[in-house]
Structure 1
Amino acid sequence: MTGAAPALRIAGDLRLGTQTLCRDLLLEVPGGGWTVLLGRSGVGKSTLGRLIAGLATPARLIGGIAASDDRPLAGRVAVMAQGDQLLPWANALSNATIGAQLRGKAPDRARARTLLARAGLNGLEHRRPAQLSGGQRQRVALVRTLIEDKPVVVLDEPFSALDAGTRAAMQDLAARMLAGRTVILITHDPLEAARLAHRAFLLGSEGARRLDLPDRSPPRPIDAAETLAAQGAFYGALLGRAAA
């Protein structure tokens, strides 16, 4: 990893035109851990992820995003968007190493092949996106993100196209590969949040509410009682139940 993983402080009003998506937002994101953002569609989770990554978005944060080391985040963030965004004319191996190619550097194809194999794509390196399933394409996009080796990583619904078994395996792979990074995971899946989060927030129009998590370190077992209890509490929070 190039450089230590900083903590982040995200504060202000998230606005789209004249509409305030999220008011009085305050997110304290610890360095070197997974922070999960839950919330209903339209609250601005993906928009916030794009702002952290420095990507273009019509929305703006009236406030700021600051790293604990007081350095700009530009060049230090890897992002995996909701769509796989694979180049249709390039094979899986080339798509996985596109970052290095765009920077004019020699891609680490051996490492890419290793990661593709760990993602269950061994033997598919030379297939183009049209020859891959939706889940396979999403795993190529995950490998493309993992190989960037950045201290800050934004993952926006990175496992949404996967079946349950593959999703759990890819969650475990990402947790291992991104250990020590500052990861912001955007998800609609309360179980995913309960498994992977070191810190979790529920985003709404009035800001962010921190959610309680089990004491066990992530990735937590899917069938552990405390994981399932947290999943239930997160569902309650999304549904607006006071007990959550």
Structure 2
Amino acid sequence: MSLTFRALLPERSFDVAFDLAPGETLAVLGPNGAGKSTLLTLVAGLLAPAEGRAELDGKVLFDVTARRSVLTEPRHRGVSLLAQEALLFPHLTALENVAFGPRSRGQHRAAARSTARDWLDRVGMGELASRRPSQLSGGQAQRVAVARALAADPSLLLLDEPLAALDVTVAPALRTLLRDVLADRSAIIVTHDPLDAFLLADRVLILEDGRIVEAGATAHVLTRPVTPFGARLAGLNLVEGQATPAGFRAANGLEVPLAEHAPVGARLALTVRPADVAVSRRAESGQGFSSVGAEIDDVEHRGDHVRVHAAGLAADVAPAAVVALGMAPGVPVFLGFRHEDATVYPV
């Protein structure tokens, strides 16, 4: 089912428009307060926009202007919302919880239970159909919640951080399950985890302050980010600069030759993995290598490596190197990388 969406909510500084193709899964990411949950609640009908219009496969979800306000009730939208918590009815068994959706859509009790059993089997919970939520683990309850959401046969599935409340040992299995059930199904998933976007989404939309700042195919957005948040999600350094007659030049003085011509003055971005950035106390030079000098801003321990921040770059180095070079905030160093390890592209 296709979705067209545009909504304005001035009191939340929210102004977002996008389209969702039939069978497409869209991952919505962004920092806290970016407007991710607002987007879901508007689509689900739990919140009304000040202005805007949304259609799901030709059905109007809302159409609000200064002169009229058309708001389809949530239960008539053909949308299912799967939240962080399972939110199962505590007095109903797993089977009855899953059958609730089909029943609310008019199915007879026997048919609804048959549909519920099919979905419980599909999510691996068929043997626990008679248990109540209090008798289920967190991972089991969330599997039942997935079955309940899908048993209602929604035109659009909304997922709000569906793995956030799960133990790290349980989340991978449910992520695999979601990848299977979302195939060829229209869905929007709000998440903080870039792994969810990599494995579940066809396309990514990044929000900041209620606006779209990046959007596109998942592989493109997470390999060629244009915002600091997108770069952090992708685990990359992002340095902005412009094209000069000599190549790429950043405000921090970093210069890198360009593999492809770009008009002088054109805005460019350079990305490089922290693991590919070397740190030294003396400037290194040579063909195919660029470096920049600066004082260290911060040093943070990250398990088996230490991340050093300077000149707008992050470098992952071994703890022994930190000790040997006396790396600490305020110490002058040089950070550099091989040109082949960096990617430069237009913004």
TM-score class, shorter: 0.7 to 0.9
The letter for the 2-side match of 1:139 is R
Greater mean alpha carbon deviation, residues 141-150 or residues 120-129 = 120-129
**Pair 1:61–1:169, CA change in 2 (3 A):** farther
Is this contact kept in 2: 1:157–1:185, CA < 8 A? yes
* C-alpha separation in 1, matches of 2:133 and 2:116: 16
- The TM-score, its normalising length taken from structure 2, stands at 0.55
Verify: 1:102 aligned to 2:110, yes or no. Answer: no
Question: What does the per-residue CA deviation read over 1:78-104, in whole Å, with 9 as the maximum and x for residues that have no partner?
Answer: 221233221111111111111123345
Percent of aligned pairs sharing the same letter: 35
* C-alpha separation in 1, matches of 2:236 and 2:30: 11
The letter for the 1-side match of 2:197 is A
Corresponding residue SS for 2:39: helix
Verify: 1:10 aligned to 2:5, yes or no. Answer: yes
Verify: 1:236 aligned to 2:232, yes or no. Answer: yes
Is this contact kept in 1: 2:197–2:218, CA < 8 A? no
* C-alpha separation in 1, matches of 2:185 and 2:207: 22
| Alignment equivalent of 1:31, drawn from 2, 9, 22 | 22
Verify: 1:201 aligned to 2:205, yes or no. Answer: yes
The aligned counterpart of 1:78 is 80
Verify: 1:210 aligned to 2:198, yes or no. Answer: no
* C-alpha separation in 2, matches of 1:197 and 1:94: 30
Alpha-carbon distance, 1:207 to partner: 0.9
Corresponding residue SS for 2:4: strand
Task: Point out the structure with the larger strand share.
Answer: 2
The aligned counterpart of 1:186 is 190
Is this contact kept in 1: 2:81–2:159, CA < 8 A? yes
* C-alpha separation in 1, matches of 2:144 and 2:52: 35
Alpha-carbon distance, 1:191 to partner: 0.8
Alpha-carbon distance, 1:162 to partner: 3.1
Structure number, greater radius of gyration: 2
The letter for the 2-side match of 1:102 is S
| Alignment equivalent of 2:124, drawn from 120, 124, 130 | 120
- The TM-score, its normalising length taken from structure 1, stands at 0.76
Alpha-carbon distance, 1:147 to partner: 1.2
1:23-172 alignment runs, 5 A limit:
24-54=15-45, 56-57=46-47, 60-67=49-56, 69-73=57-61, 74-106=76-108, 107-164=111-168, 166-172=170-176
The letter for the 2-side match of 1:13 is L
The letter for the 2-side match of 1:189 is D
* C-alpha separation in 2, matches of 1:101 and 1:111: 10
Corresponding residue SS for 1:40: coil
Is this contact kept in 2: 1:150–1:181, CA < 8 A? no
